[in-house]
């Protein structure tokens, strides 16, 4: 730990619909000054909700609130509940070594208890990680190997058979065209949510 850097606790509660079949795990929210709403992937420049618009509505702007330079949070939550998608992050406390949202500058101080999250969503057998930092927790704690992009590897937590999917980061900094990112997510969603 870096003594001069403050420890930041996770500002959001896990979003865990009772019918969840998929648990999406990011690393940690960006600094609050980058938020446009009180929910996951709150940075207006992050493409996650545009990917969801493309995947579920064939319209990347469907969940974008252009007027308020935000996202349609209530519609997002309704979609996630309807489709059975849970969301949280792999860290519950971090230090931002450079004050930004970059995974490489996050030091995880406290990991999320993933087994406890899964206990709340008994129908969930699929986990997707959306960045390298989120993978590090699962690979370290459960010995699962990082799959190839767009694919999964099987592993177990407390005797429960799970699939860990690797999806491209929704950050604009991640070097992959939007349509290609969305295609990866669509294939995964079609497999998991049938």
Prediction pTM value: 0.93
For 7-192, CATH number?
3.40.470.10
Give the per-residue pLDDT at 181. Answer: 95
Q: What is the rounded (10 degree) CA torsion for 192, 90, 29, 16?
A: 50
Domain coordinates of the chain in residue numbers?
7-192
Tens digit of pLDDT for each residue in 96-140? 887 766 777 778 889 999 999 999 999 999 999 987 778 888 888
Q: What's the rounded Cα separation, in Å, for the pair 86 and 121? A: 8
Band (84; pLDDT cuts 50, 70, 90): very high
Span of 51-60, 96-105, 136-145 with lowest mean pLDDT: 96-105
Lowest-pLDDT range, 43-57, 69-83, 141-155?
Answer: 141-155
CB 168 within 8 A of CB 188: no
DSSP element (H, E) containing 112: none
């Amino acid at each position: 730990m870096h003594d001069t850097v403050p420890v930041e606790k996770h500002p959001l509660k896990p979003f865990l619909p009772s019918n969840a079949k998929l648990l999406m795990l990011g690393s940690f929210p960006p600094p609050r000054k980058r938020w446009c709403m009180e929910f996951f992937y709150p940075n207006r420049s992050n493409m996650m909700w545009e990917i969801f618009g493309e995947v579920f509505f064939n319209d990347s702007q469907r969940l974008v609130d252009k007027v308020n330079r935000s996202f349609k949070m209530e519609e997002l939550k309704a979609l996630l509940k309807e489709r059975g998608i849970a969301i949280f992050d792999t860290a519950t406390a971090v230090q931002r070594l450079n004050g930004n949202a970059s995974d490489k500058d996050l030091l995880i101080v406290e990991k999320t208890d993933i087994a406890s999250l899964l206990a709340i969503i008994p129908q969930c057998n699929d986990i997707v990680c959306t960045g390298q930092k989120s993978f590090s927790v699962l690979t370290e704690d459960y010995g699962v190997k990082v799959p190839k992009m767009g694919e999964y590897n099987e592993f177990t937590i407390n005797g429960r058979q799970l699939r860990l999917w690797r999806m491209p980061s929704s950050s604009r900094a991640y070097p992959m065209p939007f349509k290609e990112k969305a295609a990866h997510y669509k294939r995964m969603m079609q497999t998991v949510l049938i």
